[in-house]
């Protein structure tokens, strides 16, 4: 999209403005002038003073939509993911992109869009069943409004990212503390509030191990504890109850901070590997460039092998380890970035 430019009004401080209709319009280019410039005869490109920037808002919308489509594909199947994509597409026609809940999309309109655009023939045949399954799913990505003419369906963005945040934190607990800790976390989520004895009974974990895991989750801020006092007779001391519960907002902010630290560590480690092995990486890049150039010139395999052997076997082994590590760090950065996006979007909808 275009960057704003100073308007014609006089003033000490320039006011940067751009008309809404001109945000995405390409500049008027004169092909004759462009051809003249290629020949070195001077001329004008026709786009002086026009600067472009990335439309981050649109990028984030596409990223959000892709996360929702992928989540529906994992929960149900590819047809459900395609239905989610088409619902989001129709949502933009009648709703602000960042609204928490979309305006309803009529069933008849959705069916017509599927008939014209969808590449999934089974979706049109079983549309009613897919809508019912998605509506009754615990994630509540969509909800039905009314029953006339097949009903209307809304996309609930806020509910979607609340559920995605729960799933993300659940997976983090599973990876960090194991399946038993994840079972405790899910049980407390379902019960809202639970005592220690209730946790070990419902989760079916030995008392000592259950207490250890529960307090480990409490120490890591995945759980919170609330103290309650029950008043009894005057001659009997008060009894205190300790209830474990989950404050999702607080946990999401804590996990978000951990993700930022992990992202910084991954970036720092990757830069360190590049600096420590810069000479070897540059040598490999030069050899690759020479090999590619000789291959384009028609060199035989013997010549190419001779060039490739400029890297000694120990260097080749070390280079393979470095490339594997850098690849893993890059993948970790992408996964962390997606996790940060999910958590941040959940917090934005609060």
pLDDT band at 235 (very low <50, low <70, confident <90, very high): low
Please check whether residue 12 lies inside any domain of the structure.
yes
Q: What are phi and psi of 311, to 5 degrees?
A: -90, 120
How many independent structural domains does the chain possess? 4
Instruction: Decide if 206 contacts 197 (C-beta within 8 A).
Output: no
pLDDT band at 208 (very low <50, low <70, confident <90, very high): very high
Is 60 exceeded by the pLDDT of residue 234? no
pLDDT of residue 49: 72
Other beta carbons within 10 Å of 64: 19
- Is the same domain home to 141 and 187? no
Please check whether residue 162 lies inside any domain of the structure.
no
Beta bridge partners of 194: 244
User: What's the whole-number mean pLDDT along residues 134-156?
Assistant: 87
User: Among 22, 35, 134, which Cα is nearest to 79's?
Assistant: 134
Is 80 exceeded by the pLDDT of residue 55? yes
pLDDT over 90 for what percent of the chain? 45
Helix (H), strand (E) at residue 106? strand 105-106
Is 80 exceeded by the pLDDT of residue 260? yes
- Is the same domain home to 40 and 73? no
E strand residue ranges, 146-262: 152-155, 224-230, 239-245
What is the average pLDDT score of the chain?
86
Is 60 exceeded by the pLDDT of residue 233? no
Residue 244, Cβ density class (10 Å: 0-12 exposed, 13-18 middle, ≥19 buried): buried
**How far is Cα 205 from Cα 207, in angstroms, rounded to an integer?**
6
| pLDDT, greater one: 6 or 70 | 70
Say which CATH number the domain at 221 has.
Answer: 1.10.10.10
Instruction: Decide if 165 contacts 252 (C-beta within 8 A).
Output: yes
User: What's the whole-number mean pLDDT along residues 19-48?
Assistant: 73
User: What's the whole-number mean pLDDT along residues 308-337?
Assistant: 89
Q: How far is CA 151 from CA 80, 145, 301, 306, in A?
A: 18, 6, 67, 71
Q: How far is CA 133 from CA 103, 141, 156, 164, in A?
A: 20, 11, 15, 18
User: What's the whole-number mean pLDDT along residues 183-196?
Assistant: 92
Is 80 exceeded by the pLDDT of residue 57? yes
State pLDDT tens for residues 100-116: 999 999 989 898 888 88
pLDDT of residue 249: 94
Half-sphere exposure of 341 (CA within 13 A, CB side): 17
Is 70 exceeded by the pLDDT of residue 236? no
- Is the same domain home to 125 and 113? yes
User: What's the whole-number mean pLDDT along residues 229-253?
Assistant: 78
Structural domain for 188, as ranges: 174-246
**How far is Cα 301 from Cα 35, in angstroms, rounded to an integer?**
43
- Is the same domain home to 259 and 342? yes
Helix axis angle for 78-91 and 107-117, nearest 10°, is: 110
pLDDT of residue 12: 67
Contacts of residue 44, defined as CB under 8 A and 6 or more positions apart, other chains included, come to 30, 33
pLDDT of residue 124: 83
- Is the same domain home to 219 and 266? no
Residue 275, Cβ density class (10 Å: 0-12 exposed, 13-18 middle, ≥19 buried): exposed
pLDDT band at 312 (very low <50, low <70, confident <90, very high): confident
């Amino acid at each position: 999209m275009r960057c704003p430019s100073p308007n014609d009004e006089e003033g000490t401080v320039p006011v940067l403005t751009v008309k809404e209709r001109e945000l995405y319009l390409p500049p008027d280019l004169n092909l004759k002038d462009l051809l003249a410039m290629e020949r070195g005869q001077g001329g004008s490109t026709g786009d002086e003073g026009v600067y472009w920037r990335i439309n981050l808002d649109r990028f984030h919308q596409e990223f959000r939509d892709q996360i929702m489509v992928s989540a529906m594909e994992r929960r149900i199947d590819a047809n459900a993911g395609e239905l989610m994509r088409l619902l989001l597409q129709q949502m933009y026609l009648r709703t602000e992109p960042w609204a928490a809940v979309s305006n309803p999309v009529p069933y008849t309109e959705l069916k017509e869009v599927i008939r014209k655009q969808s590449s999934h023939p089974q979706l049109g045949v079983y549309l009613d069943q897919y809508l019912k399954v998605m509506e009754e799913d615990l994630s509540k990505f969509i909800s039905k409004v009314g029953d006339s003419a097949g009903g209307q369906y809304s996309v609930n963005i806020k509910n979607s990212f609340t559920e995605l945040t729960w799933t993300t934190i659940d997976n983090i607990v599973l990876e960090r503390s194991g399946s038993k800790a994840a079972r405790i976390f899910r049980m407390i989520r379902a019960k809202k509030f639970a005592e220690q004895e209730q946790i070990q009974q419902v989760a079916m974990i030995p008392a000592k191990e259950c207490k250890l895991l529960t307090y480990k989750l409490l120490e890591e801020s995945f759980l919170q504890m609330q103290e309650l006092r029950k008043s009894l007779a005057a001659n009997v001391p008060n009894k205190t109850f300790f209830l474990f519960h989950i404050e999702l907002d607080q946990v999401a902010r804590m996990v978000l901070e951990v993700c930022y630290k992990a992202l910084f560590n991954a970036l720092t480690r990757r830069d360190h590997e590049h600096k420590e092995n810069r000479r070897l990486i540059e040598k490999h890049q030069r050899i690759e460039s020479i090999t590619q150039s000789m291959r384009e010139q028609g060199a035989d395999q013997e010549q190419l092998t001779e060039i490739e052997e400029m890297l000694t076997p120990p260097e080749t082994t070390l280079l393979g380890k470095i490339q594997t590590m850098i690849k893993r760090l890059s993948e970790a950065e992408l996964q962390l970035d997606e996790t940060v996006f999910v958590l941040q979007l959940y917090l934005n909808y609060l």
